[in-house]
Chain A
């Protein structure tokens, strides 16, 4: 979490998919302070999109903590612009929807996710937990 799913009719080239995912990671983590390891991006192709839309982006992300309504507004705007540019599309061709999810509804890394703003402490506890049971960090 966050989980961003991107739907389109035609597949984007592999490099473009990779580049779009980097932009999503940059914008999301740059604005929210979330660690990059939280960010998942899934591409889905073969879908008949609504009129005028080439790429539909849905993001499910944590709510609460230190996140404000203003932050979500800025996230929406910058994500919309960044994805459109990376996909070489005009802004109206990209439909972006963000839906909030309570952090304690999700487990990642073997632990309940923290409220936004408490990631550093959570990562320290997670790494300590993994070390205590002999799990190495992912290469």
Chain B
């Protein structure tokens, strides 16, 4: 299973990222299941995200869950994770979005993201993404990359 977490440049420290990743993994294991979860942190450059018509300070957490996952459990997972996340970051509730998507829809979204790129663009994007993510994991223990290539 996959999780992509978008945060703003300079918004969350490396130590907070590590703490948040532990929070995500613990809640995922508790509510969703024991599946392996690959988490990639994606950092947006300043003045590249707009929320509610203003330059954004928001974070967006997306996770993949099994198709047809139980509605009540999914909602408890989302609200619990959202609350624990904000305890770490101190963010306002309006600055955080947490989503748990059915696996098939999550795959469709990721596929649509790649459809925009040329064949070379897809290879280049995935190579950079994986290289940055694995170098980050070697250095910091978490996989951090950035939106801008």
Which A residues are within 8 Å of any B CB, using their own CB? 1, 3, 5, 7, 11, 14, 17-18, 21-22, 25, 36-51, 53, 56, 58, 60, 95, 97, 99, 101-102, 104-112, 126, 130, 135, 137-138
We find that the number of chain B residues with CB closer than 8 angstroms to chain A is 48
Provide the bound-state CA to CA distance between A46 and B44, in Å.
Answer: 13
Known: A46-B148, A104-B71, A105-B101. A40 touches B50 (CB 8 A): yes
Chain B residues, CB < 8 A from A51: 118
Q: Smallest CB–CB gap between B100 and chain A, Å?
A: 6
Provide the bound-state CA to CA distance between A111 and B125, in Å.
Answer: 34
Q: B99 contacts A105, CB within 8 Å?
A: yes
Q: B116 contacts A50, CB within 8 Å?
A: yes
Q: Smallest CB–CB gap between B131 and chain A, Å?
A: 14
Provide the bound-state CA to CA distance between A45 and B125, in Å.
Answer: 11
Q: B117 contacts A49, CB within 8 Å?
A: yes
Total residue contacts A-B, CB cutoff 8 A? 146
Q: B99 contacts A110, CB within 8 Å?
A: no
The prevalent SS among residues of B at the interface is mixed
Q: Smallest CB–CB gap between A129 and chain B, Å?
A: 9
Q: B49 contacts A42, CB within 8 Å?
A: yes
Provide the bound-state CA to CA distance between A48 and B114, in Å.
Answer: 10
Q: A41 contacts B120, CB within 8 Å?
A: no
A17 partner, pick from B48, B100, B116, B117, beta carbons under 8 A: B48
Q: B51 contacts A39, CB within 8 Å?
A: yes
Provide the bound-state CA to CA distance between A38 and B48, in Å.
Answer: 17
Q: Which partner residue on chain A sits nearest B85 by CB separation?
A: A107
Known: A3-B60, A44-B148, A46-B148. A112 touches B79 (CB 8 A): yes
Chain A residues, CB < 8 A from B40: none
Q: Smallest CB–CB gap between B52 and chain A, Å?
A: 4
Provide the bound-state CA to CA distance between A46 and B83, in Å.
Answer: 35
Q: Which partner residue on chain A sits nearest B57 by CB separation?
A: A138
B48 partner, pick from A42, A50, A137, beta carbons under 8 A: A42
B99-130 vs A, Cβ < 8 Å mask (1 yes, 0 no): 11110010011001101111011001100000
Q: A1 contacts B97, CB within 8 Å?
A: yes
